[in-house]
Every structure is written in structure tokens, then in C-alpha cells.
Chains A and B, each alone.
Chain A
Amino acid sequence: MTKILLSLIATLVVGAAAQAQTVDPAASELVFVTRQMGVPVEGRFQRWSAQVSLDPRKPEAARVVLRIQTDSVDFPAPEVTAEAQRAVWLDTAKYPQAVFQSSAIKAAGNGRYEMTGRLTLKGESHDMVVPVTFTQSGERGTASGNFVVRRSDFRIGEGEWTDASLVAYEVQVRFRIALSGLPTS
């Protein structure tokens, strides 16, 4: 009952053209891989929310807003998790949320899309193009992809950590967003 109510509210808010979907956090992930002196060290964000309104029949009208709780950053090693929160890195105390807002989505054929949007992280905003692969089965679907973010664009790793030979500037981001409530025509 609550789900239907929420869907209704979401539909009213977003507009009649596109219906809002629900994200399944258990089947979704937001992972990134840093390269530390050549060593791939993987971390993830455990708490984030996505507002997705997508009609696969009209992907260009889709809207995606991703909100990430920066202090949910998580590495296998606790000392690295603690370090990542500090001011020279994510500065989670001052910038508790990172946001990605889509501005345009273009179909590239075969379930592939190019999503243009703006990422705001640590007070810096940059436009980027994110390749997304979308698959659908009934009312469920998965949007996934990977792309590179330059940590230097967002002042992540300042001071003594600006040395790219220590931690490379290119950070590979990998995401999977499991959706339900997709329109099935």
C-alpha cells in the first residue's frame, strides 16, 4: 500500500510523462578503484539514493538524480576508510553529500545509452558523459556502467597527495542500479 502511495506521489512530482522507479539497494552497488603505486585498491559507497524516472520507450525524457552520502565510503582496510573522510580527501564533514544530476540521455543502440550529467563532489562541479547499459526483464531492470573520474578535478587528495605516482588521478567508477517499477509495454 505504502509502495503504491509513494509511486503515486513520485509520479505526481516528476510529471505524467515519466514514472518514477524504485531502486533495490541490495542488488545495487557503487564501486570505485583507485591505483596506488600501481596497486588497484577498491572502495565503495554504502549509502546512496537514486531518483530514477525512466520510460525505456522514451529514454531521452529520463531523469536520474544520484545522491551519495560521502561518509559511507568504505574500504576493506579500516585505516583507509578513516583516511578517506579527512579534509585532504573527501572532507566528508564539510561535504556530506555528492550529487549526480542527469541533463540528457541519448540512445546508442543495443540497450546502450550515453547519459550526460553534472557531478558535484567536494564543492566542485563538472559535466561528464557516463555510458550506461540498460537491460530490462518485465518491470525490473538494471542500469550499469563504468567510467573514469579524475580525482584532481574535484580536489580529492590534496597537499602531499597530489602526487599522481602515489595515487593515480584516474579513478575507475563502476555502478549497478537495480530498478523495479518500469513500464512494460
Chain B
Amino acid sequence: MTPPASTRPARYDGTAIAAHWVLAALILINLALGLYMHDLPLSPLRLRLFNWHKWAGITILALSALRLLWRLTHRPPTDVPMPRWQRNAAHGVHWAMYALFFAVPLAGWGYSSAAGFPVVWFGVVPLPDWVPVDRAWADALKALHKSAALTLALLMLLHVAAALKHHVVDRDGLLQRMRPFGR
């Protein structure tokens, strides 16, 4: 049962806001890293970038799990008034993004294992290989990782465009809800 609008806060709470911006930054950096590194010829640079990309990816996976836990146990602010189709689209995109926060790094982790490169977080914590070494699995998971990452990038673009549309065109103050250091 949803509590009345008056008892629900106008902004996301501090943890949700911090998680949003920290993960947005990490995800953007890792997308850029992935785009830059994936076609590099084998070299010390490529080895370093691939490992940093994987370590960042696992960090994103772990933080996303904590963030999801927080989201499921802490009520977000009521939606700003908007047509029903926009509200549905917003929720749909948000949940699709949550799904991709997990699908992208999980596919990457599986791809790495299948290609014969176990994932050792920061070179210190060995993570289990839940996919066996297998060329076919490596190719399939590589393709999945790439397409899921690109889909996430597109959704993020859409997400930013929509947020700006609300703030600049609708002038409904929507950005206040996620503004760091705001009130």
C-alpha cells in the first residue's frame, strides 16, 4: 500500500544520490575504457587496460548489488506529475538499466573466464570461474557483453535527455530530486 504523497520525501535520500553519481561516473569511465581498449593490439598497455576495466567492472557489480538492496528497502520520492506514458517509460528505462548494471559485468566476467583469463579482483581476490574455458562460450559472452554495454550506453543517453527535458522544457524541478548537495 503506497503511503500518501505528503509523507514521501521530495528528494532521493543521500545514499541513493551518492550511489547514483558514483556509479554513473564509474560506468561512464568503464564504457569509455572498453571502447578505447577493445581493438588495441596486444601490448603492456592493453594488458593493463583490460585488467583495470575488469576490476572496475567487478566493483560496479558489487556496488550495484548494494545499491539495489538500498533501492528495494528505501522508498524513492513520489513521481513528479507527468503523463502516464512518460511515467511508465521512466520506470521502464530505470528497471532496464538496473538489469543491465548486472548483465553487463556478469557477461564480461563470464567471457573472461571462457577465454582462459580468470578474474582476479585487483590482482588479489580470485573470483570463481562460473563458465568453463570454451571458445564458443567466449565468443557468445563477448557479443552479449558488447551489445548489453552499448544498450546501457544508449539508455543512459536517453535517461539524461529525458531528465534535461523535464528540467528545461517542463520546468518541473525534477533534477532537484537527484542533485548532490541540494536541499
Binding site for B on A (CB under 8 A): 36-42, 75-77, 79-80, 83, 160-161, 163, 166
Contact = CB atoms under 8 A, between A and B. Distances in A.
A41 B116 contact: yes
Contacts of A161: 44
A37 B115 contact: no
B47 to A, nearest CB: 6
A38 B123 CA distance: 4
A37 B123 contact: yes
Contact of B42 (A37, A39, A80, A163): A80
A39 B123 contact: yes
B5 interface: no
Interface string B46-78: 011001000000000000000000000000000
B28 interface: no
A161 B119 CA distance: 21
Contact of B120 (A38, A42, A76): A38
B47 A36 contact: yes
22 contacts: A36-B47, A36-B117, A37-B48, A38-B122, A38-B123, A39-B117, A39-B118, A40-B118, A41-B117, A41-B118, A42-B116, A76-B115, A76-B133, A76-B138, A77-B116, A79-B42, A80-B42, A80-B116, A160-B43, A160-B44, A163-B44, A166-B47
A37 B116 contact: no
Interface of B: 42-44, 47-48, 51, 114-120, 122-124, 133, 135, 138
A153 B118 CA distance: 27
A137 B115 CA distance: 37
Contacts of A37: 47-48, 51, 123
Nearest to A43: B116
Contact of A77 (B43, B117, B123): B117
A104 B118 CA distance: 38
A39 B116 contact: no
Nearest to B115: A77
A160 B124 CA distance: 23
A50 B116 CA distance: 27
B156 to A, nearest CB: 29
A139 B43 CA distance: 48
Nearest to A39: B120
A139 to B, nearest CB: 34
Nearest to B123: A38
Contacts of A77: 115-117, 138
A39 B119 contact: yes
Contacts of B47: 36-37, 166
Contacts of B43: 160
A80 B119 CA distance: 17
Given A41-B116, A76-B135, A76-B138, 10 more contacts: A37-B48, A37-B51, A38-B124, A41-B117, A76-B114, A76-B115, A77-B115, A77-B138, A160-B43, A166-B48
Contacts of B116: 41-42, 75-77, 80
